[in-house]
Amino acid sequence: MSKAYRVQNPANNKVEETFGYITDAELEEVVDTAVSAFKQWRELSYEDRAPLLKKAASLFDERRGELAKIIATEMGKSVKEGDGEINDVVEIFNYYADHGAEFGADQEIPTDKGGTAVMRKVPLGVILGIMPWNFPYYQVARFAAPAIMAGNVVIVKHAEICPRSGQIIQDILEEAGLPKGVFTNVYANHDQVADLIASKHIAGVSLTGSERAGRIIGAQAGEHLKKCVLELGGTDAYVVLDAADPAEAALTAWKKRISNVGQACTSNKRMIVMDDIYDDFVAELVRLAGEYVKGDPLNPGAAGKRECYPLSSRDAAETLVEQVGKAVDAGANLHVGGTIDGEGAYFAPAVITDIPVGSDIYYEEFFGPVAAVYKVSSEEEAIEVANDSNYGLGGAVMSQDEERAKKVAAKIDTGMIHVNIPQARGAELPFGGVKNSGLGRELGPVGMDEFVNYQRFFVAD
User: Is 296 within 8 Å of 264 (Cβ atoms)?
Assistant: no
Catalytic residue among 74, 231, 365, 442: 231
Helix (H) or strand (E) holding 418: strand 418-419
Those residues with Cβ within 8 angstroms of residue 233's Cβ, 6 or more apart along the chain or in another chain: 210, 211, 265, 365, 367, 391, 393, 436, 437
Q: What angle do CA 70, 74, 78 make, to 5 degrees?
A: 70
Q: What is the DSSP string of 91-147?
A: HHHHHHHHHHHHHT--EEE---SSEEEEEEEEE-SEEEEE--SSSTTHHHHHHHHHH
Q: Would residue 431 be called left, alpha or beta, if left means φ above 0 and alpha means ψ between -120 and 50 degrees?
A: beta
User: What burial letters (b/e) apply to 46-62, b meaning 16+ CB within 10 Å?
Assistant: beebbebbbbbbebbee
Give me the catalytic one of 81, 265, 365, 442: 265
Amino acid in the structure at residue 129 = G
- 265 tagged catalytic: yes
d(CA 149, CA 449): 11
Contacts (Cβ under 8 Å, ≥6 apart) of 240: 249, 253, 271, 272, 273, 274, 277, 281, 398, 399
Amino acid at 190: H
E strand map for 283-339: 293-294, 307-308, 333-336
SS (H, E, C) 371-396: EEEEEECCHHHHHHHHHCCCEECCEE
Q: Comparing C-alpha atoms, which of 334, 340, 326, 330 is closest to residue 282?
A: 334
- DSSP code of 442? B
DSSP character string of 270-281: EEEEEHHHHHHH
Instruction: State the DSSP H helix or E strand holding residue 434, giving kind and residue range, or none if neither.
Output: strand 434-435
Question: What are the catalytic residues?
Answer: 231, 265
